[in-house]
Structure 1
Amino acid sequence: MSNIRITKQFNFETGHALYGYDGKCKNVHGHSYKLSVTVMGRPIKDRTNVKFGMVIDFSDLKKIVTEEVVDQFDHATVFNETTPHVELAKELQIRGHHVILVDYQPTSENMVIDFAERIKRRLPVGIELFSLKLQETESSFAEWYASDNL
């Protein structure tokens, strides 16, 4: 039986700032992110299984990605916890804002690596994360491929 790739797309809004950056992105700003998640596996052959013919039920993949990424990052502001932005983060949290502190510079490149790790640990046996595409703007995105990270 063949390996099949399936993809589900997600949308969420997230703010961030890049501490030490020499351009506009040093300022707090946000993006309407689009995340494409592609997994690979073999369709279920057991005719008695309610998921017969599926690699993974799209609703199961949606639950994983929603819990691990979308619910966490949607309408949050992400800062690197090892920079002075931590002071701004504390002030925003005191005022009731949803802030995420990470141990990396919150670029699309680093966020897609973080998302890959979050998603991989939740996938069922036999299902592999093939790739992620995190689109920050209409013309800018970062991609993660399992084959590049062996």
Structure 2
Amino acid sequence: MFEVTVDAGFSSGHYLRNYHGKCENPHGHNYKVRVTLHGKELDHSGLLLDFKELKNVLRPVVEYLDHRMINELVPFDTINPSAENLAKYFFDETSKHISGLTGGRVQVKDCTIYETDTSAATYYA
């Protein structure tokens, strides 16, 4: 099995609903997202997927959240914008494009959201 990973960053605000503590108040993070793909076969160039292509898939997802109040954006206007839910969101949004781009040869293995350098949540299916 082969894997490729890219990181991206964005800055956003959020607050947690149904939470009692500091994070129930609006605050911000300089997030980092890490997306890892995996697959058994390389393409004709010997690549699982060009890093540039993965970054292009990730870019609109990052731009949608960057410098915004996440709670005001679909689907986070109804679900809590926790690191766990953000990790699943990135997994789902990236998966939609990767499968079509590679004809199913490559899948998203996992997505990790770092709220800080020392705190992260990962989603995988």
TM-score (norm 2): 0.89
Distance of 2:34 and 2:117 partners within structure 1: 14
Partner of 2:86: 111
* Deviation by residue 1:45-92 (Cα, 9 ceiling, x = unmatched): x3xxxxx0111111110010011x21101101111xxxxxxxxxxxxx
Report the Cα offset of residue 19 of structure 1. 2.2
Partner of 2:55: 62
Report the Cα offset of residue 20 of structure 1. 2.8
Pick the aligned partner of 1:40 from 28, 38, 41.
Answer: 38
Consecutive unaligned residues of structure 1, counting only runs of 5 or more, are: 47-51, 80-98
Distance of 1:22 and 1:106 partners within structure 2: 15
Partner of 1:18: 16
Distance of 1:77 and 1:56 partners within structure 2: 32
Partner of 1:144: 123
Runs of 4+ in 1 over 6 A off after TM superposition: none
Distance of 2:59 and 2:86 partners within structure 1: 15
Q: CA RMSD in A?
A: 1.2
Partner of 2:65: 73
| Structure 1 letter corresponding to 2:113 | L
| Structure 1 letter corresponding to 2:68 | A
Consecutive unaligned residues of structure 2, counting only runs of 5 or more, are: none
Partner of 2:73: 100
| Structure 2 letter corresponding to 1:21 | Y
Max radius of gyration: which structure? 1
Distance of 1:106 and 1:132 partners within structure 2: 15
Is residue 53 of structure 1 aligned with residue 46 of structure 2?
A: yes
Pick the aligned partner of 1:121 from 84, 96, 119.
Answer: 96
Counting aligned pairs with the same residue, the percent is: 31
| Structure 1 letter corresponding to 2:24 | K
